[in-house]
Every structure is written in structure tokens, then in C-alpha cells.
Amino acid sequence: MKKVEIVEQKWRNFSGKVFEGSIVEVLEKAISKEQKEGYRLKVCVGSDSQAYKSYVEYATAIVVLREGKGGFMFIRNDKGPKKVSLKERMLKEVTMSVEVAYTICDLLDGYNVGLEVHADINTDPKFQSNVALKDAMGYILGMGFEFKAKPHAFASSSCADKVV
């Protein structure tokens, strides 16, 4: 069987426009523009994944919410090896979200923009993803970020889910 390497793509918007430069630069331009237009903003970061026959595809979304006026997002996809347990896959999603949140948190602090990290993990023990809930919550909170899980984790379960 062929080994699948992790491949990281560039950030893009939902309509497919690919952005050059770092996500910090891209996000700073967007936040500056939105705040000049008078919007109060909040950013939510979440990831989701889908297992296929020979690999797992991951998607991470940075959702920029305009208070009371909709929002927009930046997304990227990654591929990784198939041979991981469900818990490992859930924690990989969380790790991807935390890494992005950590990358952008200083920028958001500088613009006084709130940040949440969303985990595509169900709080109901009847669901398989619940196996990773305590670890994910501890990791996200331990990194100093606000934590949201299903059904409140729309950045992962609705936004990233649409592009994985």
C-alpha cells in the first residue's frame, strides 16, 4: 500500500480564492477592513475530517463573525494517513485548530477580537466522538482558549464540515 504524506494546502475563501502570504497577514487585512467599516468581530476556529479508503482528509476553518451581520471564513485542507483511531483523528482535528488559534491569537488580541476554538466532538456519550471530549477540552482550555463542542461548535461541525 502506498504511504500517504500529510499535504497542507494554502488558505482560501469559500468561493475558492487562494490567498498568498501567511494567514496572519491575510486575517489582519480582513479584520482591519471590517473594523474600519464599523463591525464588531469574533473569530472561531474549528476543524473536521473525513476518512476515505486510503487517507483522511482534514479541513480547518477560521470563521470571522460580524456581530449581527453574518460573516465569512478562510479554509484549508490537509490529507493524512488513514491508519489512526477515531480518538486520534478527533485529537488531530483539535490540534490543527489549536495550532491555528495560537498562530492568530496575538493578532486578535491586538485588534480586540474574541476567539473561540470549536471541536467537532459530541458532548453526548452515546456518540463515538465523545471518547475524545475530556482530552480535547483539557487541551483547548489549557492553551487558554475558549472551548465549544457540539452542538455549539459550528466552525467545525458546519463550516469545516462543508469543505472536507
Q: Is residue 119 part of a domain?
A: yes
The fraction of the chain above a pLDDT of 70, given in percent, is 95
Q: Is residue 40 part of a domain?
A: yes
Q: Is the pTM of this model over 0.75?
A: yes
Evaluate if residue 108 carries a pLDDT over 50.
yes
In a 3-state reduction of DSSP, which class is residue 74? strand
H-helix or E-strand spanning residue 103: helix 86-110
Domain total in the chain: 1
Q: What pLDDT, on a 0 to 100 scale, did the predictor assign at position 3?
A: 45
pLDDT digits (tens, 9 = 90+) for 134-146: 999 999 999 999 9
Q: Is residue 120 part of a domain?
A: yes
Q: Is residue 1 part of a domain?
A: no
Q: Is residue 110 part of a domain?
A: yes
Q: Which domain holds residue 24?
A: 7-163
- The residues, ordered by sequence, that sit 6+ positions from 101 with a Cβ below 8 Å of its Cβ are 45, 115, 117, 143, 145
Q: Is residue 117 part of a domain?
A: yes
Q: Is residue 144 part of a domain?
A: yes
Q: Is residue 142 part of a domain?
A: yes
